[in-house]
Structure 1
Amino acid sequence: MCTMWIDGFNGVARHIARNVDFAVVAAAGLPALRAHARDRRWTDLRLLSASEGTFKYDLGSEDAEGNQDSTVSVFTRDGDGPVRHAYSAHPRMADGIDQRGIDLLTPVWHILDLTPRGRGDWSAGLDY
């Protein structure tokens, strides 16, 4: 699922950069992340690796067993002050509601939701 969201972010990154500093942080090491980015043609994103630090654990995007969960986090800074964590959101809203907590961040769901069949059992893949 993360790849689909990042595909969309790549398409709007230049617009976003006019107002905010935007980065994608991944658990993968930098060589693997760069290779995946090349394959997906992510040319407009700032990609950062959290493979060596605690960032992914601190924000709940990975647990001690290595289970990962997509996470969107917002940080702010006032002038030259400290960086502050404003909030984080995860896609799982509850045990029975999977992948809906950050739907607003991908236009794919919006388009499918406009069609008579809706999303059906479709899910994003890496094969297209």
Structure 2
Amino acid sequence: MEHLRYPNETAEYRAARNALLDDEIALRAHIEAVAAKRRALPLGGEVPEDYVFERIGKNAAPEKVRMSELFGPHDTLILYSFMYGPERELPCPGCTHLLDGLDGAARHIGQRAALYIIAKSSIARLTAWAHERGWDHLPLVSTAGNSYDADYFGDTSKFPKGLRAQHRVPDGENWDETIFNVFKKNGGAIRHFWGSEMSFAPTEPNQHHRAGDQVDPLWGLLDMTPEGRGDFFPKVNYD
């Protein structure tokens, strides 16, 4: 292809940029190949129960809602486990910045699949936080004490022994975790389809797990810069 030329760039820059472009094109192809493999996964296990969550209803009062009802008109449901349990004074800053970016996308996601943000705090607390944060489009639900996060690794309580050691989870302690899980309606049953298990894979030195990077605009923007990500990690608030 005929490449672009920016004002006053050197031949050395253009040669290096063209080589990088080849790598970027190859990466694009690989990302799509991985996405195709994901779409081709066989359906996972049937959900063990129709979990009962809590959300704010149309009359602005809390109401119980079953997992099967969260699908709405869709056959696909995306659930994101948000690290904001009742023991936390503030939610996880990594989760929070991700949801800051997803709030605008949520109105579009709803055209193709159902999306809900799951956390262990009460629905009143979650709704108050969403209002403070300016999240106008993200639907939040409370686990309301059900076992969803335990069963689908939104917390550490069912981590196998090796994973507990890798994540330095002390015996007798547990905490909430971040993970996307995707579910599919199939013949009247709800089946698990995919989870962002890279959240729990061993990381490379000086990297976080990067399991949600493809839906996270912050990291994508920083990766475009000369400084890159560095050791930056977002905060809930910047004073």
Q: Is the shorter-chain TM-score for this pair beyond 0.5, marking a shared fold?
A: yes
Q: Verify the 8 A CA contact 1:92 1:100 in the aligned structure 2.
A: no
| Amino acid corresponding to residue 182 of structure 2 in structure 1 | V
Q: Normalising by structure 1, what TM-score?
A: 0.89
Identify the residue that residue 237 of structure 2 maps to in structure 1.
127
Q: Verify the 8 A CA contact 1:93 1:100 in the aligned structure 2.
A: no
Identify the residue that residue 86 of structure 1 maps to in structure 2.
193
Give the alignment partner of residue 174 of structure 2, picking from 31, 54, 66: 66
Moved more, 6-15 or 60-69: 60-69
Does residue 47 of the first structure (1) align with residue 140 of the second (2)?
yes
Give the alignment partner of residue 227 of structure 2, picking from 108, 117, 121: 117
Shift of 1:44: 0.6
Q: Alpha carbons of 1:92 and 1:125: their partners in 2 closer, same or farther (altered >3 Å)? A: farther
Classify the secondary structure of the residue corresponding to 1:22. strand
Aligned length: 127
Moved more, 96-105 or 61-70: 96-105
Shift of 1:72: 0.3
1:75-127 deviation line (CA, Å, top 9, x unaligned):
1114x621111011143431555331221120110000010000011111111
CA distance in 1, matches of 2:178, 2:156: 12
Task: Flag the structure with larger Rg.
Answer: 2
Does residue 21 of the first structure (1) align with residue 135 of the second (2)?
no
In structure 2, stretches of 5+ residues that fail to align are: 1-93, 158-172
Higher RCO structure (Cα 8 Å, ≥6 apart): 2
Moved more, 83-92 or 45-54: 83-92
Identify the residue that residue 211 of structure 2 maps to in structure 1.
101
Moved more, 97-106 or 40-49: 97-106
> RMSD of the TM alignment (CA)?
1.7
